[in-house]
Amino acid sequence: MKKTLLFIGALMCGTFLFSQYTPFEDVSFSDETIEIPEEFNDSDEIILFQNRKVEIVSGSEGVEEYVMVHEKTLVNSDDAIEKNNRLYISFRSNERIVLNKNRVILPDGTVIELNDDDIHEETDTETGRSYAYYAVKGIEKGAMIEKLYVKQVAPNLTDNSFAFQFSAPIIQSQFELIHPDFLGFKTKSYNGLMEPHVDENRYEDKISIYVSDSLIFPINTEEKLANISKHRKYFRYKLHENYSKGTKNFYNYNNFAKNAYSNLVFELPKKDVKAIDKFTKDLNITDNMYLNVLEIEHLVKTTIINDYYYDKNNSLADLIKAKKGTVLDVLVLYKSIFDKFDIPAEFVFTTDRFDMYFDPEFETTNNLTYGLLYFKELDMFLDPRNKSYRIPLINSGHAHNHGLRLKEKEYSGTILPVADLMFIEAPSMQLTTDTMNITIDFTSDIANPKVTSHMNFGGYSGAHLQGIVDQVPEDRYEEILEDILKNYSADAEMDKKEVLNNGVANMGKKNLILNLEFQGKDLTQKAGDKYLFKLGETIGKQQEIYQSEKRMMPVEIDYPHYYYRTLTVILPDGYKVSNPETATFDFKTIMDDKEEAVFTSSYTVENNTYSIENIEYYNTVLFPLEKFESYQNVLNAAADFNKIVWVIEKSE
């Protein structure tokens, strides 16, 4: 299929004046003294200044773009030295290095200029991107590293962004976009970054868009359960208008929808129809739409490989024969099969919210990097790339996110797409529900109880386990399974281990079930005339979140989920638990009068049997900053439960 989905349209038409002008050729190192604020003195690393410029240049061949980066960094610790002993410059095959200068200024004033002998190169085999880097020698605490480079790159006018906040504090940071005065750009500053200053007189026949900020405190990149890409300071811009041609609103959603749809939905030639008929002949199609979608998804995901670099398919017949193709090839295949079986499916394009924030108020096709299929009648999404998921599970980064839906509307007998922004809801916590029923029976041996666990994993939890068996060799699977079981058995030898509903064929139909039986002697310790039993370890290790520094960002989790656990402890006559109250918890996060995160645990005693009911859930993805402490208490309660040790002694 030589049709290509064009995410960006033609920039502009017409002939430009020829120019051999190359920006930033005369830039040089800076010897300016920069005073370090007292609040930054103890930082491992301090970015003294950061000056970045982009200039758009028009020439006879079209548009060129030049990027200049000039930074000076003070290294103040061994960790900072290790982090900065390589100075990277990434470049693609279609980029050209115009200028590249680097130096180290030692605390005694000695200057070490790095030369070509210090340059090394490595290539990322997955992306094909090459990285040139300087091996920095002689660096010590208190040294300053200065890098300065200029490169010519492929123009990026659809949407570009520059971050202003990193893990190190910044004393001064600035960015400037310089462009011909016949172009107009849209811009936006995020998270408290100053609005840009537009100067039409700074350069002849050019416009300067200038953004600066100072004394920028670091963002804690180690914060758990946080969306750094969304909450750091950054600046975005995109081409919007060409005044000389009277054209505007480049890279808009309506044009994208028309272009994308025409490349994804079209009348198939007879050989493709025949190939699809043969490919789908063994499908079990019924009157249940959900099961039909699962059937088709399973067929495609177990047969066709997504290969970004495979470009040899000229038709769906070629794709099916080769059993691999680009993501766009696979999207066409899905849509064609769903149309064949009269299953309404629409395309939705979005981003990964942890990599790039989809701002619904900043219209750009860079928001549309990942394609999903949406089934309105089911209100569910299909993720075409992730082979470990089945509808309604999708990559969690694409859920709880905005997306552009290509709604199908009929006009005069013709189906046309309509661009429509939508919010992609994360699957509810009822989908990802895990249940655990555990019985610990001491009646036969007070020092070696029999532990029986029945565990049912739903939604994302099940998917993360269910597909492993189909993806790795048998011996490797057994190793992985043993590691999983150790989490719930303290590495005890299993008397029984049973895995039910395993494999991708069961995804979306049946939950994964683990049934375990083992001797609990490794969880039991004799202490004088008492026995200590590690009750909490039977539920497995739990996530926890602690941080000494003040929380900076709201909590943002991958997906809502729910846990229901029961633990039954049976003691022989003449024994009791002296501290059963340690299994009592009651932590809740309330938002808008609704319990959105909960960890509760309670126990009852009848004769020699102690019964514990434990409920934990997270009903939403986002918890605002002011609710962090409450959320933290809920999450850490589960980890605290995991540490419970019950004391068993003779009753009086």
Average pLDDT over residues 279-301: 95
- Minimal CA–CA distance to 614: which of 396, 376, 438? 438
217 confidence band (pLDDT: 50, 70, 90) = very high
- Minimal CA–CA distance to 613: which of 561, 541, 564? 564
* Span 21-50, pLDDT tens digits: 778 888 889 888 889 998 898 899 999 999
Tell me: do 196 and 287 sit in the same domain. Answer: no
* Contact (Cβ atoms closer than 8 angstroms) between residue 280 and residue 299: yes
Tell me: do 284 and 348 sit in the same domain. Answer: yes
Task: Give the predicted TM-score (pTM) of the model.
Answer: 0.89
Residue ending a domain, among 424, 443, 478, is 424
Q: CA neighbours within 13 Å on the CB side: how many for 348? A: 28
**149 falls within a domain:** yes
pLDDT at 400: 96
Tell me: do 393 and 448 sit in the same domain. Answer: no
**13 falls within a domain:** no
Tell me: do 242 and 296 sit in the same domain. Answer: no
In the chain, the amino acid numbered 178 is I
Residue 536: CATH number of its domain: 2.60.120.1130
219 confidence band (pLDDT: 50, 70, 90) = very high
* Cα distances (Å, whole numbers) of residue 146 to 51, 98, 204: 11, 17, 30
Tell me: do 213 and 335 sit in the same domain. Answer: no
**12 falls within a domain:** no
Can you tell me the distance from the alpha carbon of 52 to that of 103, in angstroms, rounded to the nearest whole number? 18
Q: Encode 633-644 in three state secondary structure.
A: HHHHHHHHHHCC
Query: Tokens 């930054």 — which residue?
Result: 40
* Contact (Cβ atoms closer than 8 angstroms) between residue 208 and residue 237: no
- Minimal CA–CA distance to 618: which of 556, 566, 573? 556
Average pLDDT over residues 424-443: 93
Tell me: do 71 and 197 sit in the same domain. Answer: yes
**132 falls within a domain:** yes
Tell me: do 558 and 610 sit in the same domain. Answer: yes
**27 falls within a domain:** no
Tell me: do 232 and 344 sit in the same domain. Answer: no
Which of the given ranges, 57-66, 92-101, 308-317, has the highest pLDDT on average? 308-317
- Minimal CA–CA distance to 20: which of 98, 100, 95, 101? 98
* Contact (Cβ atoms closer than 8 angstroms) between residue 608 and residue 565: no
Can you tell me the distance from the alpha carbon of 218 to that of 232, in angstroms, rounded to the nearest whole number? 9
Residue ending a domain, among 248, 277, 312, is 248
Tell me: do 320 and 231 sit in the same domain. Answer: no
Can you tell me the distance from the alpha carbon of 306 to that of 387, in angstroms, rounded to the nearest whole number? 10
* Cα distances (Å, whole numbers) of residue 566 to 62, 453, 575: 68, 10, 21
Mean pLDDT, all residues of the chain? 90
Residue 89: CATH number of its domain: 2.60.40.3140
Residue ending a domain, among 216, 232, 248, is 248
Helix (H, G, I), strand (E, B) or coil at 564: strand
CA 4 centroid distance within chain:
26
pLDDT at 598: 97
The sheet carrying 130-135 orders its strands as 86-91, 130-135, 119-123
131 pLDDT more than 90:
no
Lowest mean pLDDT among 86-100, 213-227, 289-303, 381-395: 86-100
Cα dihedral 398→400→404→406 (10° resolution) = 90
19 confidence band (pLDDT: 50, 70, 90) = very low
Tell me: do 376 and 451 sit in the same domain. Answer: no
**Percent of the chain residues past pLDDT 70, beyond the cut:** 95
9 pLDDT more than 50:
no
Range of the domain at 487: 433-650
**10 falls within a domain:** no
Pairing of strands 170-180, 144-153: unpaired
**219 falls within a domain:** yes
**599 falls within a domain:** yes
Residue 350: CATH number of its domain: 3.10.620.30
Tell me: do 106 and 169 sit in the same domain. Answer: yes
Tell me: do 616 and 499 sit in the same domain. Answer: yes
Average pLDDT over residues 103-114: 89
Domain count, the chain: 3
* Contact (Cβ atoms closer than 8 angstroms) between residue 358 and residue 370: no
* Cα distances (Å, whole numbers) of residue 488 to 42, 436, 467, 542: 43, 11, 20, 11
* Span 225-258, pLDDT tens digits: 999 999 999 999 999 999 988 999 999 999 999 9
6 confidence band (pLDDT: 50, 70, 90) = very low
